[in-house]
Structure 1
Amino acid sequence: MSQQPSAARPVPVVAEPPLGRHHDLGRDRRLMLHRSGTGGPAVVFLPGAGLVGLDYLNTHDRVAERTTSVLYDRAGTGWSSPAALPRTAAEVVAELRDLLHAAAVPGPYLLVGHSLGAAYARHYAQRFPDEVAGLLLLDPFHEDLHALVSQDVRDKLELMRDQELPEVTEEQIERSRSQVAPLFAAWPDTVRTALVEYHLTAWRTGAYESRNVYAEVADELRQGPDLPDVPLIVLTALGHDATQAHLWSEDTLREINAGKRTLHARLAASVPRGEQRVLDDAGHGFLHEERPDAVLQAITELLARAGG
């Protein structure tokens, strides 16, 4: 999200979610899962850093018209139990697998991973290939971007990773509220209110989740086996993104996007049934709302290819 509201109020990670329910995984770990629809393969959404399952509710509802659709919150995010951040991909994947089993969601799954969530989706497919029917990666994190871009961009990424996140004022919170609320205009009232308040409270979460992506998570992806031979679509978002425009110069964004486009093409080509689709009119953070047609079309095609 492009906004930077305060973290002064407690994050509602153990409160009852506005949709879905908690599943107890033991070890004081309760995760939120919202399930709709019937049939298979089940579509499971893995949110990007700083996002939560209900951020994908509109797409989820459309998917549930034809098959089972699942939203969830990782531990440490949303309406799931707290957890120290960042976490390894192995931890996140094992936790998701336990949750899907606890909720009796049968596999194999079509995993829809966004940004950091796409790295976790890939690692799930590396570790449990027989449980994955297909992959849709929404502007995915790629472990080699850090090596592909210039030293100047690498230095900026390191600075962003290590910087202390600021305290902000009530005035900034209210200004952020006016920016966040329109993003959720199409959500049901009860869900919209809860999501706006969550993002105003927990804006630091995305930065905390991302702090090990070019270290531990990248190494986990590199050291894991090849992806299984399942249908794969990579959506590459090259349009305007408010958060990125706030953080990066135009020249830096052009360099990042060029590297991302190359690496996403390489990722799609890594499996026999892989395909890259470039979206010039959608930004990284909310492409599922800016181009829901492209996301839903990709899911529909992947379900067909996977036999759903």
Structure 2
Amino acid sequence: MKVFKRLLIIVPAILVLVIGFVVLSSYFEHRDLIAEEKELYPAPGQLVDVDDGQLHIYAEGEGDNTLVFMSGLGTSSPFYDFKPLFDELTEDNRIVVIERAGYGWSEITSTGRDLDTVLAESRQALAEIGESGPYTLIPHSLAGMEAIYWAQSYPGEVERIVGLDPLIPEYYEQDEDRDNPLSPLVTFLARSGLMRQQEGVCENMPVIEKGYLNDEEMEAACAIFMRRLMTKNMWEEYRSLDDNSQLVLNGPGLEVPFYAFISGQGEELWIDTLEDYADMSFTLDAGHYIHLDETELIGEKITEIIETDDITF
């Protein structure tokens, strides 16, 4: 019995030590790999200083219209996520991709994710690289909130909003079954580096899953995925949704056109609310990453919208 009791203490203790050793080893290896990957895959755009760190902002193309792409919650690499779509639009337009704090090549910061802070950082980053409005804002998902708030706060800087299955506060306030898209377990696996042990995990990135990237781009996107999966800034964005939604709801009405490409695979409340809110909406048989399911069509229709502020289907 004495031996048995000792084993009940010793065996769990050994297991804890072994698990701790594995996690710590994985973590330090993960940090070393991140340092190597930063050298191997430098930012394609510019890193600009904002109040608490640096944001990555990518710009290319020339034209009378500047299109600003804004990513959804948890999209680890906005640059690669939007690349198939902005490639359709760079010939005749200036395109800009803003990677918020904690996304892509941008740094993880300690600033809050209230809309005033997020918008101030976006505007500061644009100013730092010499961009000026008015802009056509192209937000995906969560970024719909920031785009609407931008137009409410600085209507002279926004010409129109073209949402890619965008989140609007009218939906958020009615949704009684809100699911947290961020997972504590996945967050732990990402930050400890244990995620790297999961073979093929990067293939879950929609832009890779749908076959848009070549081998070199996939390697770079995967490196970003490993260090920008469910960062603390993403978690703070999720926790700030209640306050941000109320802020937009209590703001003035939009003075600019709001267009929306809507995922027909979403729930009925999502579709109905967006169709009611938008000046013009287009519901497509596509998933939430609608710009990767209907890239060519959406590129053509955005061009139509820019040229005529109208659209036909």
- Counterpart for residue 246 of structure 1: none
Q: Given the superposition, is the C-alpha separation of residues 122 and 298 from structure 1 closer, same or farther in structure 2, using an over 3 Å criterion?
A: farther
Do 1:35 and 1:70's aligned partners in 2 also have CA atoms closer than 8 Å? Answer: yes
Greater RCO, CA 8 A, separation 6+: 1
Task: Give me the whole-angstrom Cα distance separating, in 2, the residues matched to 1:72 and 1:129.
Answer: 19
Alignment partner of 1:220 is 2:247: yes
**What is the DSSP-based 3-state SS (H/G/I as helix, E as strand, rest coil) of the residue aligned with 2:88?**
helix
Name which of 185, 195, 207 aligns with 1:165: 185
Offset at 1:299? 1.5
More displaced, 186-195 or 43-52? 186-195
**TM-score, with normalisation over the residues of structure 1?**
0.77
- Counterpart for residue 278 of structure 1: 283
**What is the DSSP-based 3-state SS (H/G/I as helix, E as strand, rest coil) of the residue aligned with 1:98?**
helix
Task: Give me the whole-angstrom Cα distance separating, in 2, the residues matched to 1:17 and 1:118.
Answer: 29
Task: Give me the whole-angstrom Cα distance separating, in 2, the residues matched to 1:83 and 1:276.
Answer: 35
- Counterpart for residue 95 of structure 2: 69
Task: Give me the whole-angstrom Cα distance separating, in 1, the residues matched to 2:196 and 2:181.
Answer: 26
Name which of 270, 276, 286 aligns with 1:266: 276
**What is the DSSP-based 3-state SS (H/G/I as helix, E as strand, rest coil) of the residue aligned with 1:91?**
helix
Do 2:136 and 2:161's aligned partners in 1 also have CA atoms closer than 8 Å? Answer: yes
- Counterpart for residue 142 of structure 2: 116
Do 2:68 and 2:136's aligned partners in 1 also have CA atoms closer than 8 Å? Answer: yes
- Correspondences of 1:82-161 after superposition (within 5 Å): 82-84=108-110, 87-150=113-176, 153-154=177-178, 157=179, 160=180
More displaced, 29-38 or 165-174? 165-174
**What is the DSSP-based 3-state SS (H/G/I as helix, E as strand, rest coil) of the residue aligned with 1:174?**
coil
Q: Given the superposition, is the C-alpha separation of residues 178 and 39 from structure 1 closer, same or farther in structure 2, using an over 3 Å criterion?
A: closer
- Counterpart for residue 292 of structure 1: 295
Q: Which runs of 5+ in 1 are unaligned?
A: 1-5, 240-255, 269-273
Q: Which runs of 5+ in 2 are unaligned?
A: 1-22
Offset at 1:93? 1.0
Task: Give me the whole-angstrom Cα distance separating, in 2, the residues matched to 1:24 and 1:171.
Answer: 30
Do 1:76 and 1:85's aligned partners in 2 also have CA atoms closer than 8 Å? Answer: no
User: Letter of the aligned partner of 2:104 in structure 1?
Assistant: G
Q: Given the superposition, is the C-alpha separation of residues 232 and 178 from structure 1 closer, same or farther in structure 2, using an over 3 Å criterion?
A: closer
Task: Give me the whole-angstrom Cα distance separating, in 2, the residues matched to 1:76 and 1:93.
Answer: 15
Offset at 1:296? 0.8
Offset at 1:258? 0.7
Do 2:171 and 2:274's aligned partners in 1 also have CA atoms closer than 8 Å? Answer: no
Name which of 49, 66, 81 aligns with 1:24: 49
**TM-score, with normalisation over the residues of structure 2?**
0.76
- Counterpart for residue 34 of structure 1: 58
The higher radius of gyration belongs to: 2
Aligned length: 271
Q: Cα RMSD (Å) of the superposition? A: 2.9
